[in-house]
Amino acid sequence: MTLAQIIGTGSYAPSQVITNKDLEKVVDTSDEWITERTGIKERRQAAPGEATSDMAVAAAREALALSGTRPEEVDLIVVGTITADMPMPSCAAFVQAKLGAKNAFAFDVAAACAGALYAMSVAEQFIRTGRVKRALVIGADLFTRIVNWKDRNTCVLFGDGAGAMVLAPSEDPQRGILSTHLRTDGALAEILAVPAGGSKEPVTEETLRTQRHKLTMNGREVFKCAVRALSDTTQEALASCGLVPAQVDHVIAHQANMRILEAVMQRLEVPVEKCWINLDKYGNTSAASLPMSLDEACRAGRIKRGDLVAMLAIGAGMTWGSAVVRW
Ligand code: COA
């Protein structure tokens, strides 16, 4: 079967910067604590009125331009997000309309911070089977609207953004997305969640008062799960291609916490220098984080033709996965 290849990338971050110092005025925290425990120095916040689809479209336009794809040539749009513009319809529907991608069918994938990796895996299947020639994969999230700004455990970690990639059939049978491995453990759903606002617990005055429509997290449990899951699944994805971590040239990873990344790289025995890091500038941008990192690494000229790239991401669910790409 024909492999899918990433032929263009793009990203978008809102212009409003929130520094750790700014957060010292919002919650009982310090630049020192946040920097030491997470590696984050600042994050971006969407402007009032700016929606997730607006950020997604900005990133998508860059990816389309770089790949030389016109909007009407796109057959499929998959948006990884859990902060769509509204509960219904999907964020992808708005993206399709705003781009004028009138020949594309479009839908969202809900896998939180692993959203773009899941979306890429879905799109890749359509390309491999020949059903689709051009797919637009987007990760976009607007977490500053779902964090509890009174909870110092979570509000310091997240920021807003979007990243995009265009997939097409690879012309070279050796190059492209070699494998994707996706995993879920729903028994861990409660450690990272937005409890209210869905069918189980619709928004009421009480949920608003108790902030249950905002993000809640057991940070230590998430941390432990992330380190184990990301290193195991990366090993699996590589092994399925007959490869080992020592052969990896670049790691493009979900940017949640510098200590998680260091621990994962240590377990894989891959030097941390091979991992693109931008969480100091953007914090955790959820589904946007992986495609934003990929776009930055590509535009910086870091990834060369023929390089082996390992991608890894984890999010609420818990959902996680890895992909191996020969660039
Ligand atoms: N500023 C200052 N102190 C803070 C703080 C903040 N922003 N957030 C938490 N603390 C405090 C806690 O209240 C706790 O105080 P206590 O000991 O008096 O109770 C103390 O710091 C230590 O908390 P702990 O949870 O042990 O810290 P930690 O070293 O585990 O770091 C996280 C906390 C959240 C940074 C870390 O657990 C983490 O990154 N987890 C993964 C989160 C994540 O990546 N989520 C998204 C996944 S996609």
Q: Is the pLDDT at 1 greater than 90, yes or no?
A: no
- Residue whose pair of structure tokens reads 């509890």 in the numeric block: 148
Q: 266 falls in which pLDDT band (50, 70, 90)?
A: very high
pTM for this model (two decimals): 0.96
Each residue's pLDDT tens digit, 87-103:
999 999 999 999 999 99
Of residues 323, 270, 277, the one with CA closest to residue 297: 277
pLDDT tens digits, residue range 138-191?
999 999 999 999 999 999 999 999 999 999 999 999 999 999 999 999 999 999
Report whether residue 257 contacts ligand 1, using a CB cutoff of 6 Å. Answer: yes
Query: What are phi and psi for residue 279, nearest 5 degrees?
Result: -70, -20
168: which strand partners? 5
- DSSP state, 198? S
Exactly one of 20, 91, 113, 257 is catalytic; name it.
Answer: 113
Let me know if 47 is exposed, middle or buried by CB neighbors in 10 A (0-12, 13-18, 19+): exposed
User: In whole numbers, what is the pLDDT of the chain averaged over residues?
Assistant: 97
Q: What is the pLDDT of residue 221?
A: 96
33 lines ligand 1 (CB under 6 A): yes
Cβ of 297 below 6 Å from ligand 1: no
**What are the chain's domains?**
4-169 (3.40.47.10), 176-326 (3.40.47.10)
> Ligand 1 center to residue 196 CA distance, Å?
23
- Strand order, beta sheet including 308-315: 176-184, 319-326, 308-315, 250-253
Q: Is the pLDDT of residue 295 over 90?
A: yes
Query: How far apart are the CA of 219 and the centre of ligand 1, in A?
Result: 6
Q: Please report which confidence band the pLDDT of residue 42 belongs to, taking 50, 70 and 90 as the band edges.
A: very high
Q: Encode pLDDT of 226-248 as tens digits.
A: 999 999 999 999 999 999 999 99
Contact by Cβ (8 Å): 156, 45? no
**275 is annotated as an active-site residue:** no
Would you give the DSSP letter of residue 2? P
Amino acid at 98: K
Active site residue 213: no
